[in-house]
Amino acid sequence: MDICPKCGLPKETCICGELEKSQQKIKISVAERKYRKKVTIIDGITQDTKKVAKQLKEELACGGTVKDKRIELQGEHVKKVIEKLQKLGFNKETIER
């Protein structure tokens, strides 16, 4: 059985991951790339960044990339990204835009 190093509980019952998720400071912004293409940038997701990016891309049916801990989605999706992140367990209060 895997034990969480933070709280000492078995991994199945530990909620450290969920807690961390709800406390993460996330920043969403929109930037303009060449040819006036807009991208939505999501900073601050430090856990499962690639997995989250994949889910966002599927949900929004758009392309995107992950660089370090930054997710870039093609197009302007701020509202939808916030909704989707909430569904994934992130806390709206910690999402800055």
Selected from 2, 3, 13, 16, the binder of Zn ion by CB under 5 A is 16
The three-state DSSP-derived secondary structure of 20-75 is: HHHHCCEEEEEEEEHHHEEEEEEECCCCCHHHHHHHHHHHHCCCEEEECCEEEEEC
Q: How far is the CB of 19 from Zn ion (least distance, A)?
A: 8
Name the residue with tokens 């996330």.
26
DSSP character for 2?
-
Q: Which stretch binds Zn ion (CB under 5 A): 10-18, 22-30, 44-52, 65-73?
A: 10-18
Asked if 7 touches Zn ion (CB under 5 A), the answer is: yes
Given the rule CB under 5 A, which of 16-24, 35-43, 46-54, 56-64 is the region that contacts Zn ion?
16-24
Task: Give just the sign of the alpha carbon dihedral 91, 86, 16, 55.
Answer: negative
Closer residue to Zn ion (CB): 46 or 65: 46
| Residue 49: CB minimum distance to Zn ion, A | 20
Smallest distance from Zn ion to CB 6, Å: 4
Q: Which residue type, as a one-letter code, is found at position 1?
A: M
CB of 3 to Zn ion, least distance (A): 9
